[in-house]
Amino acid sequence: MTESSSLERIIPEQLRANEATGADTLKLHLARYEFAQSKLVPGTALDMACGVGYGTAILASSSGISHATGVDISTDAVAYAIQHYQSTGTNFICSPALAFNPDSRFDNVVSLETIEHIEDPALLFKHLVALLKPRGRLIASVPITPSVDANPHHKTNFSAKSFRQLGRSNGLEYLDSLCQVQPFNPLAMLTRREHRTKDLRANIRDFYWHNPSHLVLRMTSILKDGFTNKYLTVVWEKPS
């Protein structure tokens, strides 16, 4: 098993309790899953980009959920999930998100901190909607403060408005949302003192030089929200 906890992969038992990018980030992820769990409709659930599977297990523990399927592109993550979280109420599949096309649709589709990683987020969102049964619920989250500059795995910056617009563009009904705020220590980020910050963009000054609009976004965000990252989880319902 080569998978390890990193900026983009959380393995709970590997996190360091005194680091904001560790235990505090896990708390945010767990809170998102618990929020999603409280909004599920009875039936089946898909956890797209499930990582190592702890969130899929949370969804599967809901009283109205008959089965939860976790899907992730990482073979290591799926192997870990099968070893630690597979049960009669869960299963795990290794597949790219856009290639996953099962025979049956789901009553619930959950995809947390996924859409910002895709070059064409609108295409992925449309695919998630297509995996959903009529009257089913899509629950998804993204960062709504800039992240592309610091995180080389992120392809799109979202605002609360632009993220909600994805739902409207696909004919979904907005039901509820959860906004989370995570303070960060800029010095710890710049000096990479914390274990998970080793995956931050290697030469951010060069990135800003070639992409000045991202520097403007970052400075605007700091002036507005200080040194915080903000995340939005939205619950939508698909019409019948």
What is the topology classification, in CATH, of domain 17-237? Rossmann fold (3.40.50)
* pLDDT number for residue 7: 47
Q: Is the pLDDT of residue 9 over 90?
A: no
Q: CA 232 to CA 180: how far, in whole Å?
A: 6
Quick one: pLDDT at residue 201? Answer: 87
pLDDT of residue 21: 57
- CA-nearest of 117, 68, 75, 108 to 91 is 68
Q: Which residue has the higher pLDDT, 101 or 185?
A: 101
Comparison of pLDDT for 200 and 42, the residue scoring more? 42
For the ranges 57-71, 120-134, 180-194, the lowest mean pLDDT is seen at 180-194
Amino acid 1 reads M
CB 5 within 8 A of CB 15: yes
Average pLDDT over residues 145-156: 94
Which DSSP string corresponds to the chain?
A: -----BTTB--GGG--TT-IIIIIHHHHHHHHHHHHHHHPPSEEEEEET-TTSHHHHHHHTSTTEEEEEEEES-HHHHHHHHHHH--TTEEEEE--GGG---SS-EEEEEEES-GGGSSSHHHHHHHHHHTEEEEEEEEEEEE-S--TTT-TT------HHHHHHHHHHTTPEEEEEEEEEEE--HHHHHHT-SGGGGGS-TTHHHHHHH-HHHHHHHHHHHHHH-SEEEEEEEEEE---
* pLDDT for the residue 1: 40
* pLDDT at residue 221 greater than cutoff 60: yes
Residue 40 confidence (pLDDT) above 70: yes
Output Rg (C-alpha) for the chain, integer angstroms. 18
pLDDT at site 131: 98
Has residue 193 got a pLDDT over 80? no
Residue 5 pLDDT greater than 50, yes or no: no
Share of the chain above pLDDT 70, in %: 88
The reported pLDDT for the residue numbered 14 is 57
- The region, left, alpha or beta by phi > 0 then psi within -120 to 50, assigned to residue 226 is left
Lowest mean pLDDT segment, chosen from 12-21, 45-54, 170-179: 12-21
Angle between helices 121-130 and 160-169 (to 10 degrees): 50
pLDDT digits (tens, 9 = 90+) for 43-56: 999 999 999 999 99
